Amino acid sequence: GQQVMQIPQYQHVQEGEDFTTYCNSSTTLSNIQWYKQRPGGHPVFLIQLVKSGEVKKQKRLTFQFGEAKKNSSLHITATQTTDVGTYFCAYAQGGSEKLVFGKGTKLTVNP
Amino acid sequence: NAGVMQNPRHLVRRRGQEARLRCSPMKGHSHVYWYRQLPEEGLKFMVYLQKENIIDESGMPKERFSAEFPKEGPSILRIQQVVRGDSAAYFCASSQTTYEQYFGPGTRLTVT
């Protein structure tokens, strides 16, 4: 199946700075999901995007799905220490809807 | 409403032993997925089950690994004759439909 590439792999920011992670596919995706995993924790669903050009916001988080449905981004405005963790994009593949995950972007926030 | 439950949370096995990982899905959820996560890696799909049926096992290694989701009781992921390369975090997820998946806390398996 298709792979999704995430960049950057690591991101260190000062508290209050913005953060963006990108998810790219070589082929068109039917959907994209974003998950957050805190250190030592488990993935927690954040959102799903399905429409071309879709933009969704959750407080300081903004999610976008590209017009060609081949890329997506997660932007966090004014990061806080509670934003620390690894952010994964994933898509549900095939009839079983199994999730194919990117390798994630690990965010650290310096207070 | 209890979330997805997994036990044990940590499991240590010597090479050659068997590991049994259990997952109880959220109440009302009939779809169970197992994923494996190596350190600093994303999650890799292993198997998708519904009650008494394996729907998709395309991510399962051909040997030593098996999974079941019986009519009664939790889903079980079984690893026979464990090797060091099996050390990883194993996550179970459940869903009611095929949309949002809810993940359990995971079982961290260490093979010594």
Structure tokens at A98: 């199994």
Q: Which of B91, B100, B105 minimises the CB distance to A48? A: B100
How far the first Cα of chain A sits from its last, in Å, is 40
pLDDT single digits (tens) A63-110: 999 999 999 999 999 999 999 999 999 998 876 678 999 999 999 999
Burial of residue A26 (number of CB atoms within 10 Å: 0-12, 13-18, 19+): exposed
Q: Do B33 and A45 touch (CB under 8 A)?
A: no
Read off the pLDDT of each residue in A48-73 and give the average, rounded to a whole number: 96
Reply yes or no on whether the pLDDT at A56 is more than 90: yes
Are B103 and A48 within 8 A, CB to CB? no
User: Which chain A residue is nearest to residue B38, measuring alpha carbons?
Assistant: A103
What's the rounded Cα separation, in Å, for the pair B19 and B111? Answer: 10
Which pLDDT belongs to residue B96?
85
Set out the domains of chain A in order of their start, with CATH numbers. Answer: 4-110 (2.60.40.10)
B44 to chain A, any CB pair closer than 8 A? The answer is: yes
- Partners of residue B104 in chain A, C-beta under 8 Å: 42
pLDDT exceeding 70 applies to what percent of chain B?
Answer: 97
Query: Which pLDDT score is estimated for B1?
Result: 54
